Amino acid sequence: MDGSRWAWGTQGILLTAEAEKLNSMNLLMFMAPISVVALVPATVVLEPGAMDKAVQLATENFGFVLLLLLNSLTAYFVNLTNFLVTKQTSALTLQVCRSLVVKHGP
């Protein structure tokens, strides 16, 4: 079985099988480390010197570390809010609202 068929099969199981279904927060918890593992090497390759500069800024200025933590918390709460809104309404409702905002502006 090739990779794409395996991925689609796994996704189908996670979305349909009640015993294997993940709730949104568990999915976020499992996907966050995978994202870090994928993005850090990409950053090193595509943005040479960025990691060195980030480490330098973190050691020189503790405020930089606080900004990174604030950024991480903000991203977490954006995801949490999106999951809660989707749970209370529906994915279709959110898609329609996004389409209205894009077509007609804020």
How does pLDDT run across 14-58, given as a tens digit for each residue? 555 566 566 777 777 777 888 888 888 998 899 999 889 989 999
Mean pLDDT score across all residues of the chain = 78
d(CA 46, CA 38) in angstroms, rounded, equals 12
What's the mean pLDDT in 58-73?
92
Q: Is the dihedral of CA 58, 63, 64, 66 positive or negative?
A: positive
In a domain, 8, yes or no: no
User: Distance (Å, rounded) from C-alpha 18 to C-alpha 16?
Assistant: 6
d(CA 104, CA 106): 7
Integer Cα distance of 89 and 91 in angstroms:
7
Average pLDDT over residues 64-90: 86
**Residue 67, pLDDT score:** 94
Domains: count for the chain: 1
Q: What is the mean pLDDT of residues 61-88?
A: 87
Q: Which domain holds residue 27?
A: 23-104
